[in-house]
Amino acid sequence: MRTSTRDRVVLPILLPIIMLLVIAAVLFGFSRILLSLTKDAATAIALIVALSILVVAAVVASRSVVRASSLASMLGAIAGVAMLAGGIALIAVGAGGEEGGGGGPAVTISLTAKGIAFDKTTLSVPAGKPFAIAFDNQDAGIQHDVQIFDNESFTGTPLLNGEIVTGPAKVTYEAPALDPGTYYFHCSV
pTM listed for this prediction = 0.46
Give the angle subtended at the CA of 139 by the CAs of 136 and 141, to the nearest 5°: 120
Question: Distance (Å, rounded) from C-alpha 116 to C-alpha 109?
Answer: 20
CB 130 within 8 A of CB 174: yes
Our CA dihedral for 146, 152, 158, 164, rounded to 10 degrees, sits at: 20
**Residues with Cβ within 8 Å of residue 92, at least 6 apart in sequence:** 41
Question: Which ranges in the chain are annotated with CATH 2.60.40.420?
Answer: 107-186
pLDDT, tens digit only, all 189 positions of the chain: 677 777 777 778 888 898 899 889 888 888 887 887 788 888 888 888 888 888 888 888 888 887 878 778 877 887 787 778 777 777 766 554 444 445 556 789 999 999 888 999 998 898 889 999 999 999 999 999 999 999 999 999 999 999 999 989 999 999 999 999 999 999 998
Torsional sign, CA 32, 38, 43, 45 = negative
Tell the CATH topology of 107-186: Immunoglobulin-like (2.60.40)
Q: What is the rounded CA–CA span in Å between residue 189 and residue 173?
A: 16
